[in-house]
Amino acid sequence: MNVSNANELPIGVFDSGVGGLTVLKALRDVLPHEDLIYLGDTARLPYGTKSPASISRYACQATQQLQQRGIKLLVVACNTASAVALEALRGQMEPLPVIGVIEPGATAAVAARPGGTHLVLATEATVSLEAYRRAIHAKDRQATVIELACEMLVSLAEEGWSDGPIAELIVRRYLAELDGQSARPDSVILGCTHFPLLREVIESAFDDGVAIVDSASTTAAAACDMLASMSLGSRRSGGGSLKLLATDGATRFARVGGQFLGHDLSANDITIVDL
Amino acid sequence: MNVSNANELPIGVFDSGVGGLTVLKALRDVLPHEDLIYLGDTARLPYGTKSPASISRYACQATQQLQQRGIKLLVVACNTASAVALEALRGQMEPLPVIGVIEPGATAAVAARPGGTHLVLATEATVSLEAYRRAIHAKDRQATVIELACEMLVSLAEEGWSDGPIAELIVRRYLAELDGQSARPDSVILGCTHFPLLREVIESAFDDGVAIVDSASTTAAAACDMLASMSLGSRRSGGGSLKLLATDGATRFARVGGQFLGHDLSANDITIVDL
């Protein structure tokens, strides 16, 4: 494969389900000429409740599917898989690059509030793996990290109930689990790809000075930087195509995914693949 | 195997996750001398968002695991699997009996309110399969059946938020999707094994005269009748053991499952199996 061909390969985006479409949407915004191929492993979602061994095996199978189709960069748009399987995926993709969602979010939070207190809202699995804590402390040993599992926010986003009193009460109930001190963080990291849909209701639960770190847009920015640092660079013209793959349930993927992507999808837009 | 040995075999209970533990609990209440073996396919939950072909394949694999360990009766404590895979499982278990959760609930609702209007609260998959509609109309052609997908109630039960303003608002928001007429049903069927945990909050959203049909207790009663009709009968002494199997995540199974079963579980109480 020569360099010019490689540059025209799509960016592969992988998630356990539809949540990673918030990352895909952010990628389209900053890299409008890149072709994108997305794989949602909907047959085995949610990864958040699975064991690390299973998550790693699933992520490697999904990546293999994208590699067979040809990609120049893999974006792991799933916090759980980023926390558990990133090194395995880097080995599998070598020498091509892999970007997870945790590192860019951690970097952005530390840059926004050096030495600050960071509140990470995430799934139970991401919290139990302490992935954000480790990523933040690797960059800023003075930082304080509080991780809070907010499992109900996932189903809230998928149901499309992203505003109104139910969303507000659920966010406030989770925050009530924090004590007074940690309820006033310097930054709040949306540490699950579903949570950018709830950004407004989450933001409204905090004081004005709090930095909200959206891991979808920080990851898209990291992909942009990565392409610029590669000899390939990013595409300046053409491209812009989108291919959506899922391992099950095209109808539900289209209905819920459309909300995440910000435009209507039909089941015919989704190709079902077997891993 | 002789009849006396067969009678001492456990009853097998299968679900996609922990929800079926409400059925297991109801079985223990009515059949205290039966040994019970429960398999939660937690590695592949939720079935509710999977395709019928996948659900059927998963259910057959889970049943095979229970058959290898020896059971005298299979209870499919999962509405989705009952709706999709019951005939396949009956073929696989023959000549031993299989009881699903839909038929007992439909029978109880029709018996409580002949010719009435039945509101079925269920997952999206159960609703889209119209399983309760078909089961009720097979028994009562005059009945009116309304099926309402309430996906958020599943995560609400798993989070343990079974009462209070959030649970009330979520139940009322789903019911607001019904028009005035159908919001006054004669019976309400809890058509997901998670929903018995939310029985009080659901019940309080309806008028006093509404019959609440809990598919966990109706299924346990059907298992009781089935054993009585078999030459084996139910056990009158000894037994009462419980074995819990899951395909992934013993820690989470123990924590969430304990709420469903009504007593504490530890991860050591769960045996992880591969299907």
Residues of chain B in contact with residue A172, where contact means CB-CB under 8 angstroms, are none
Q: Which of B155, B175, B177 to mutate to test the interface with A (most CBs of A within 10 A)?
A: B155
In A, minimum Cα distance to B160 occurs at A152
Cα–Cα nearest to A251, from A237, A262, A265 = A265
Contact assignment for A54 to B248 by CB distance below 8 Å: yes
Contact assignment for A249 to B50 by CB distance below 8 Å: yes
Q: Which sequence positions of B are flagged as catalytic? A: 78, 192
Indicate if B225 and B94 belong to the same structural domain. Answer: yes
In A, minimum Cα distance to B47 occurs at A43
Q: Which of A41, A170, A172 to mutate to test the interface with B (most CBs of B within 10 A)?
A: A170
Q: Which of A45, A49, A151 to mutate to test the interface with B (most CBs of B within 10 A)?
A: A49
Give the end of a domain, one of B215, B238, B253: B215
Contact assignment for A51 to B248 by CB distance below 8 Å: yes
The predicted-structure confidence for A170-215, as pLDDT tens digits, reads as follows 999 999 998 766 668 999 999 999 999 999 999 999 988 999 999 9
pLDDT beyond 60 at B150: yes
Residues listed for chain B: 275
Residues of chain A in contact with residue B257, where contact means CB-CB under 8 angstroms, are none
Indicate if B190 and B223 belong to the same structural domain. Answer: no
Give the end of a domain, one of A173, A196, A216: A216
- Residue-number span of the structural domain to which A70 is assigned: 3-101+218-272
pLDDT beyond 80 at A92: yes
Residues of chain A in contact with residue B44, where contact means CB-CB under 8 angstroms, are 43-44
pLDDT of residue B121: 96
In A, minimum Cα distance to B150 occurs at A159
Indicate if B85 and B141 belong to the same structural domain. Answer: no
Whole-complex ipTM: 0.86
Residue from the list A43, A124, A159 with its beta carbon closest to the beta carbon of B50 = A43
Indicate if A72 and A154 belong to the same structural domain. Answer: no
Residue from the list B49, B170, B252 with its beta carbon closest to the beta carbon of A252 = B49
Residue from the list A45, A169, A248 with its beta carbon closest to the beta carbon of B51 = A248
Indicate if A116 and A208 belong to the same structural domain. Answer: yes
Indicate if A30 and A95 belong to the same structural domain. Answer: yes
User: Could you give the percent of chain B with pLDDT greater than 90?
Assistant: 79
Mean pLDDT taken over chain A: 92
In B, minimum Cα distance to A256 occurs at B49
The predicted-structure confidence for A139-180, as pLDDT tens digits, reads as follows 999 999 999 999 999 999 999 999 999 999 999 999 999 876
pLDDT beyond 50 at B217: yes
Confidence of residue B162 (pLDDT cuts 50, 70, 90): very high
- The lowest-confidence range among A243-247, B69-73, B180-184 is B180-184
Indicate if A134 and A161 belong to the same structural domain. Answer: yes
Size of interface A-B (CB pairs under 8 A): 60
Give the end of a domain, one of A216, A242, A262: A216
- The lowest-confidence range among B33-47, B98-112, B179-193 is B179-193
Residues of chain A in contact with residue B249, where contact means CB-CB under 8 angstroms, are 49-51
What is the C-alpha to C-alpha distance for residues A165 and B123, in angstroms, rounded to an integer? 23
Cα–Cα nearest to A89, from A75, A107, A104, A106 = A75
Indicate if A96 and A223 belong to the same structural domain. Answer: yes
Residues from B contacting A (CB-CB < 8 Å) are 42-45, 49-51, 54, 124, 151-152, 154-156, 158-159, 161, 165-166, 169-170, 173, 248-249, 252
Question: What CATH number has the domain bearing residue A48?
Answer: 3.40.50.1860
Indicate if B109 and B192 belong to the same structural domain. Answer: yes
The predicted-structure confidence for A2-61, as pLDDT tens digits, reads as follows 445 778 999 999 999 999 999 999 999 999 999 999 999 988 887 877 778 888 999 999
Concatenated DSSP letters of chain A: --HHHHHTSPEEEEESSSTTHHHHHHHHHH-TTS-EEEEE-TTS--GGGS-HHHHHHHHHHHHHHHHHH--SEEEE--HHHHHHHHHHHHHHHTTS-EEESHHHHHHHHHHHSTT-EEEEEE-HHHHHHTHHHHHHHHH-TT-EEEEEE-HHHHHHHHHT--SSHHHHHHHHHHHHTS-TTTTS-SEEEE-STTGGGGHHHHHTTS-TTPEEEEHHHHHHHHHHHHHHHSSS----SS---EEEEESS-HHHHHHHHHHHHTS---GGGEEE---
Number of domain units in chain A: 2
Q: A162 to chain B, minimum CA–CA distance in Å?
A: 13
In B, minimum Cα distance to A154 occurs at B155
Residues of chain B in contact with residue A50, where contact means CB-CB under 8 angstroms, are 43, 248-249
Mean pLDDT of B23-32: 96
User: Could you give the percent of chain B with pLDDT greater than 70?
Assistant: 96
Indicate if A144 and A51 belong to the same structural domain. Answer: no
Contact assignment for B166 to A173 by CB distance below 8 Å: yes
Indicate if B44 and B134 belong to the same structural domain. Answer: no
Indicate if A27 and A46 belong to the same structural domain. Answer: yes
Q: A68 to chain B, minimum CA–CA distance in Å?
A: 24
Residues of chain A in contact with residue B163, where contact means CB-CB under 8 angstroms, are none
pTM: 0.89
